Structures are given as structure tokens and as C-alpha cells.
Amino acid sequence: MDDSDLMHGNNDYGYSQSHLGESVDGTRRRSSNRSIKRRKFDDELVEYSLGMPGMSNFKPSTSQSYADSKRRHLSKSLPGTSKRGRKSGRQGGQLAPKDLGRWKPIDDLALIIGVQQTNDLRTVHLGTKFSCKFTVSELQQRWYALLYDQAVSRVAVSAMRNLHPDMIAAVQDRALWSQQEEALLSTIKANTNPPPTTDTFAEMLSQHPDIFYTGRTATSLFRHWQSLKLYNLLPDQSLGPTSATGRPILTFNDAEEYIQDIDLNEPPDEALDKELKLQQRRNVKEIRHLENEIGRWNVLVDSVTGISPGELDGQTLAVLRGRMVRYLMRSREISIGRSGKGHLVDIDLALEGPAHKISRRQATLRLRNTGEFYLSSEGKRPIFVDGRPITAGNKVRLYDNTVVEIACLRFIFSVNHDLIRAIHNESVRYNLPP
């Protein structure tokens, strides 16, 4: 088979619109001779034909190899095309928020200045006011990151450079004082005559520029010296205040140390001691009596008259109103039943009417932290709440104006919404369990 047969379509493989040519290196190659060419289709066609039987002696063209290598090069150079590139790009995007967190540029600047002044992170934690509350361990971690983490330090330095000059001046004005600075300020005594002025500290600042921080001014030096004098921290104040003659004045604390407790004791008075013991016994007896009566204070019984009772006071949680009396609920949990010999309940239904069919302990009324009232039935006979029977061992929620029937007695349950709302808000504020 020669080249002319291939060009006229007389080949054995059915490629009527293709021909063989020679590449630069002399090897034979196959390409399409159609008028409208599609590069991708032609390349795939040639690559498919190379894998067919009898075509093993053909190699891809130089242009095709160049296109494949160029495509691979571009795919590698584009961001996010490989898994490694996507992973590194994602880490770079998350680096700044993760490392910065709550730290602001003014916090980093204050931390750097404080460490330079004191060389103690605990002192910086106690004396520096940051934008939010940091712990000593957080200060250590941040300082370590600023020193050794290049990504964090680069972001932090760039943010500090973009700070407004007024903000930088405010941070520098609150910089901590080093021991060398306070030692120089202590050379000016508290009783200097004439007293020092701003010019005195301006001269000191000009004589020792290598000791004082660059942000110090004569006014700031004068103000800090006055603070040292106010709290008696200057060396000449260690002996305490002195009089006009130069003798130290005895302060109240010093005088208290000289006085012994034995000198303050008075002679014993037997009559007074006996009277105090008797009074103490009466107080203890009264306390025990009040403790025994405290159970009755959970519920206040009030008679029902034709006059409207009006609004509830600030201590009443709810009211169980009957025909004769009304029971004011003052405790979060009260017992309902019939009082007898050796058995007391908070709400004695015998005050309302005949209670011989009511159990000694008929029910329990509870208030939860959510502001909901629940009535638990504990007697032999059921309790009817809005006409629905509640048997022993079950409980039901009571709403405002709920009708409660126990035996032949009927009550209306009313809620003090203002007090219940306050209790609910307090439980939400302190995350109390329901």
C-alpha cells in the first residue's frame, strides 16, 4: 500500500479523509484533511488510531506533543487545580482569622510594650487593660506566636502599622513603668522644697532618654510621681509622715499595734453575764417555736367577702379561691388535704366545707422555674381539673382561672402573673434547672 492509495481512501482501516505525512524527525504521522478542523477531535482521533492494531509504528506529532505538554504546564500553574494547591490555599485563607481570634492590633501593641517594659507576663496581665479579658496562658501563647510564628507575626505587624496615630499614642500613654524609670522618679523626694514642677521632670527626661520609654512626656512623669507620693511609695516616705520638728507622727495603725488586748478587757460582771444567758435561752426558744410554725406560713388563709379582694401582693404566687375562704400560695410547693391529729397540711380543705371524703394528703401543688404550676394527685379519690379526672399518681398543669374540684368542694385557681414572670426571668438569667 502506497501513499496514493491512502489519500484516495483505498486503505484497510476505513479512514477516507485522512492521510499520512512525515514529521520533522522523518517518522510518518496521520492527520485529517477536512476543511473544518476541530483540534480536540483530531487529537483524540489520532491518539485513538495509535492504539489500533497495525498502527504501533506511528508516533504522535510534534505539535500534538507540544500541545499536551503546554496543557499540563498550564494546569499545574493555575491556582486550585491540584489537591495540594487547594489544600494550601484553604489553609492560607483560614490562617488569619484562626490566629487572630479575639486579639486586636491595639492588644498586640500593648502586649509588646508591656513585655519590653517589665519582662514579666504576669505583671503585664495585672497592669495592662486589653480590649477583652485574657488569661496568663493566653498571653503566653500570643507572645510565643508573635515571636516564632511567621504568619501570625506578619499579619499582626501589618495590622499594627495600619493603626491610627491617636490609638498608638493612647496605648503608649498607658504603658507600664519599668523599675529603672521608677528608680529615677524616686530620686525626687516627697518633701522637696520647693515642690517639683513639670520643668523638673522635663529636665530629667532630657538627661535620661535611654531609660524612659519613648512615649513618656514630662506631664506623664509628673503624674506618675504624684501617684507614688499619694500611696507612700517614695523612699523618704518609708518612715511615715513627720511633724514640723522632723519627728515621725504616730499613725492609728502603729498605735493599735502598741495596745495589747489585755488592757482593753473590763472586769467581769456576774449579773450582766447571767442576764445575757437568760436572754440567749429565750431567743433560742423563740427560734424553735418559729421553726415549728414555718410550715403554716406557706399558705395564708383569707376569708372571702362580697368585696373584690383586689390585686395580689408581691409575695403571693397564686390563689386557690373557694366559696368560703381563699388560700394564698406563698411557697413553691404546698400540700393539699385534710389536717388531723399528728398530721398537718399547708391547705386544710376542712376550712372550706365538709372534707370527710378527702384524704389526709390529697394533692401537692408545685411551681417550676419555668413559671408553670403542676398539681399532683395523691389521694384515693380523683381530682377534677376543668371536668377532667386526675387519678392518684398523675399530675396536670394548672392555668389561670382553672376550676379544681376536690370531693364536693370547688375552687378557682388564679396566678400572680407579675411575680411569676419575675421568677421566670431570674431562672433564665442564672440558667436554673426547670
Q: Residue 311 burial by CB count (10 A; 0-12/13-18/19+): exposed, middle or buried?
A: exposed
User: 140: number of CA atoms within 13 Å, CB side?
Assistant: 5
So what's the pLDDT on residue 403? Answer: 94
Joined grid coordinates for residue 271: 449579773
Beta-bridged to residue 340, according to DSSP, are 343
Scan for cell 503585664, then name that residue. 124
Stretches where the chain sits below pLDDT 50 are 1-21, 23-24, 40-67, 70-100
Q: 228-261: string of b/e by CB count within 10 Å (b at 16+)?
A: bbeeeebeebeeeeeeeeeeeeeeeeeeeeeeee
Residue 125: strand, helix, or coil: helix
Q: Residue 148 burial by CB count (10 A; 0-12/13-18/19+): exposed, middle or buried?
A: exposed
Q: Residue 335 burial by CB count (10 A; 0-12/13-18/19+): exposed, middle or buried?
A: buried
So what's the pLDDT on residue 64? Answer: 47
Which helix (DSSP H) or strand (DSSP E) does residue 143 occupy? helix 136-148
Instruction: Return the domain boundaries, the chain.
Output: 3-75, 102-173, 296-429
Region of 321 (left: φ > 0; alpha: ψ -120 to 50; beta: rest) is beta
Rg value, the chain, Cα: 47
So what's the pLDDT on residue 54? Answer: 44
> What's the CATH fold of domain 296-429?
Tumour Suppressor Smad4 (2.60.200)
Which letter does DSSP use for residue 364 in this model?
E
So what's the pLDDT on residue 273? Answer: 87
